[in-house]
Structure formats: C-alpha cells, structure tokens
C-alpha cells in the first residue's frame, strides 16, 4: 500500500487543519495517510520549535524505509507558511520523493504580486524541486496559473459526518459565523449586522466561534467548538455568514451547504457553489437586504462535488499519475 504524508498546520485550529484531517482520515483506495504538524499556536519561539521538530521528524522518516512516504503533500498559505514548506519540498526532492504544494490561501496572488522576489523564488523553487501544484478552484487556477505556471484544481472535501437532518427545526433569526479570531474573518461586522437586524427582528441573535467574549447578551461567543457542536450549530442556525475580506475556499460554507444551511458571503469571496448568496463586502445595508430576501431552499445538492467520495477519487488519480511519472523518470 502506498503512503502519503500530509505536512502543515494540522494541529492549529482553522480550515486548513480540517482539510488535512479529512484527507488523512479518508485517503484514496490503496493509500494510507499520515499527518505531520509543522505549526503551532502561540509565541514565535513556539512556532519555530514546532517547525524545527517537524523538520527533524521528516528527516528521520525519509531515512527509514518503513516510515518513508511515497508522496509528500504540503499544505500552505502564503508568506512564511510557504517559506517553511519550501524547506520540506527541498528535503523531499533530494530524497527522491515527489512533493505536492497545495495552496489554501485566499491571498496567495496578493503575496506574489507584493514582491518580484516572492514570485521569482516561488517559481524557481517549485521548478527546481519538481513540485506538483494544487489550487482549490477554477477561479484560483485562472489567477495563479498566469503567475506560477501549470496548476491542477482539486476542491476541498467536506467531513462526511456533516449532513442534512430534516427532522431538526431551524432557529428563527439565528446568525452564525465560524472562523478564527482574525479581523479578516469579519466578526465585528457580523455583530454590527445583527445589531441592525435586531431593529427589525428584536429576537435576532448571533453565534460566533473563534472568540470567547462579547459585550452583547444576544451574542454567543463560543471560542473554539468541537465537531459535534459545530454540526449542531449548522443544523439549527438560520444562516451562515462569511463576511471575510478574502478566503481560499471557505470550508465552513461548504459544510453549511451539506447541512442545508443557507450561506451569505462577501462578494470578495469566490470558489463557492451558486446557491451561496453574496452581499457587498463591509456594507451592512447590502447584507440586510440579502438576508431579508432569504427564502427556504434546498442547498445540499449544490455542494455534492465536494463530497469526500468525489475528492478521494480525484486524489487517487492525481497521486497515481505522480507515482507513474516519477517511475518513468527513474
């Protein structure tokens, strides 16, 4: 049986970690998968120590025939996330193991454009280390392929434990935001939106993850929630809000669709099914208007291309092609 090793922030809360865990728990037929964490939350020193520990572990794996992977699957955001993954790509290449660079960031293009050095070094590194580059959607392929060369599209998978239960009654005017505590995610905007909505519907309330404090009694700040809690929220909320400035392909939105929960996202967020409603980024009036037009709808079918069975099949084909190409070269 072939083995793929996923390297990235699998122990750091967030969408990328969820994707890594789903892929590792549901590898393609004929494959086994392992996770190697290269990042941790906390101080810069803690992050550096986690990175050094991952490098040491990876080095040992490459030297041991029993633990050596057949493919190294690197999960990266932009900036320092990529520079860290670059070292793993280099190590894999020199050990004769094919590597995949899986770009999750919604601002990878912005990072590349911010400096000619970034683009030049990324191109030279991925070419030198024969990296196979994955992006999350056709939207990102159209943007990034011009800058970094040939890429392949494989969508994010959704946890198969998330599904639609028609026996569960949805709450009324219960808004939900799932995301880490980062200004780009729009937590404060969600509070402002709900505050305005309460002038029309006084019973309106908001649940936030990623933050654990808020001054309003109608805001339930949950911090980080378990998968069971998240599924319960998606099954009962009136709507999921994605007011982010940018996203790669927000996993929370896909999960919401699988739970038949409507989604409203910023018009700056791409790579989602057409059933996701959009409103102008940062414009409360626009979001109120879209929310008020919200009607009961079945959105489950629109997300089926993100089902784990479909994504497994895509990765099985992709991994197999990489191994076949590598064997031909050898």
Q: Tokens at residue 318, please?
A: 């992709």
pLDDT, tens digit (0-9, with 9 covering 90-100), for 199-220: 999 999 999 999 999 999 999 9
Cβ neighbors of 101 (< 8 A, separation 6 or more) are: 74, 76, 85, 89, 126, 131, 132, 133, 134
CA distance linking residue 148 with residue 146, whole number of Å: 6
* Residue appearing with tokens 């040992």: 60
Q: Is the confidence at residue 12, as pLDDT, over 80?
A: yes
CA distance linking residue 2 with residue 30, whole number of Å: 7
Q: Is the confidence at residue 295, as pLDDT, over 90?
A: no
* Residue appearing with tokens 């037929």: 29
CA distance linking residue 327 with residue 330, whole number of Å: 5
Q: Tokens at residue 295, please?
A: 């009607």
Predicted confidence at residue 327, as pLDDT, reads 64
Contact 101, 76 (CB under 8 A): yes
* Residue appearing with tokens 């590898």: 27
Least confident of 52-61, 76-85, 138-147, 294-303: 294-303
pLDDT, tens digit (0-9, with 9 covering 90-100), for 115-134: 999 999 999 999 999 999 99
Contact 241, 175 (CB under 8 A): yes
Q: What is the DSSP letter of 130?
A: T
pLDDT range class, residue 113, cuts 50, 70, 90: very high
Q: Is the confidence at residue 114, as pLDDT, over 90?
A: yes
What mean pLDDT value characterizes the chain? 95
Angle at which helices 80-94 and 44-63 pack, to 10 degrees?
10
Strand partners, 263: 240
Strand partners, 74: 7, 101
Residue 203: exposed, middle, or buried by beta-carbon count in 10 A (0-12, 13-18, 19+)?
exposed
Q: Assign domain 2-157+307-329 to a CATH class.
A: alpha beta
Q: Is the confidence at residue 192, as pLDDT, over 80?
A: yes
pLDDT, tens digit (0-9, with 9 covering 90-100), for 22-33: 999 999 999 999
User: What is the pTM for the complete model shown?
Assistant: 0.94
Q: Is the confidence at residue 329, as pLDDT, over 80?
A: no
We find that the CATH architecture of domain 174-306 is: 3-Layer(aba) Sandwich (3.40)
pLDDT range class, residue 290, cuts 50, 70, 90: very high
* Residue appearing with tokens 């089902």: 307
Predicted confidence at residue 325, as pLDDT, reads 81
Strand partners, 103: 76
pLDDT, tens digit (0-9, with 9 covering 90-100), for 230-275: 999 999 999 999 999 999 999 999 999 999 999 999 999 999 999 9
Q: Is the confidence at residue 91, as pLDDT, over 90?
A: yes
Per domain, the residue ranges of the chain are: 2-157+307-329, 174-306
CA distance linking residue 163 with residue 219, whole number of Å: 26
Q: Is the confidence at residue 184, as pLDDT, over 70?
A: yes
Strand partners, 208: 177, 221
Contact 107, 140 (CB under 8 A): no
Q: Is the confidence at residue 328, as pLDDT, over 70?
A: no
- Mean local confidence (pLDDT), 59-70: 96
- Mean local confidence (pLDDT), 288-306: 93
Predicted confidence at residue 235, as pLDDT, reads 96
Element (H, E) at 279: strand 277-279
Tell me, yes or no, if the two domains 2-157+307-329 and 174-306 fold the same way: yes
């Amino acid at each position: 049986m072939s083995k793929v090793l996923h390297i990235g922030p699998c122990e750091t809360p967030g969408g990328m970690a969820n994707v890594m865990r789903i892929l590792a728990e549901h590898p393609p037929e004929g494959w086994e998968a392992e996770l190697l964490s290269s990042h941790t939350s906390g101080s810069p020193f803690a992050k550096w120590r986690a990175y050094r520990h991952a490098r040491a572990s990876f080095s040992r794996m490459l030297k041991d025939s029993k633990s050596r992977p057949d493919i190294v699957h690197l999960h990266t955001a932009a900036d320092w996330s990529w520079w860290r993954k670059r070292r793993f790509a280099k190590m894999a290449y020199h050990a004769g193991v094919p590597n995949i660079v899986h770009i999750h960031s919604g601002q990878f293009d912005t990072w590349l454009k911010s400096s000619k050095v970034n683009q030049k070094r990324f191109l030279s590194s991925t070419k030198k280390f024969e990296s196979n580059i994955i992006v999350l959607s056709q939207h990102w392929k159209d943007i990034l392929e011009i800058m970094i060369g040939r890429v392949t599209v494989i969508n994010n998978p959704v946890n198969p434990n998330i599904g639609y239960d028609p026996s569960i009654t949805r709450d009324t005017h219960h808004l939900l935001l799932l995301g880490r505590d980062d200004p780009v995610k729009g937590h404060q905007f969600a509070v402002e939106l709900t505050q305005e909505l309460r002038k029309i519907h006084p019973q309106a309330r908001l649940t936030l993850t990623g933050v654990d404090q808020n001054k309003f009694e109608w805001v339930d700040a949950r911090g980080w929630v378990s998968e069971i809690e998240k599924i319960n929220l998606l099954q009962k909320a009136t709507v999921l809000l994605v007011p982010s400035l940018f996203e790669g392909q927000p996993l929370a939105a896909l999960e919401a669709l699988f739970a038949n929960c409507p989604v409203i996202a910023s018009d700056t967020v791409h790579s989602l099914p057409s059933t996701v409603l959009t409103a102008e980024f940062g414009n409360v009036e626009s979001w109120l208007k879209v929310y008020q037009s919200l009607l009961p709808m079945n959105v489950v079918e629109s997300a089926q291309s993100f089902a784990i069975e479909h994504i497994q099949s895509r990765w099985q084909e992709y991994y197999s092609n990489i191994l076949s190409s590598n064997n031909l070269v050898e």
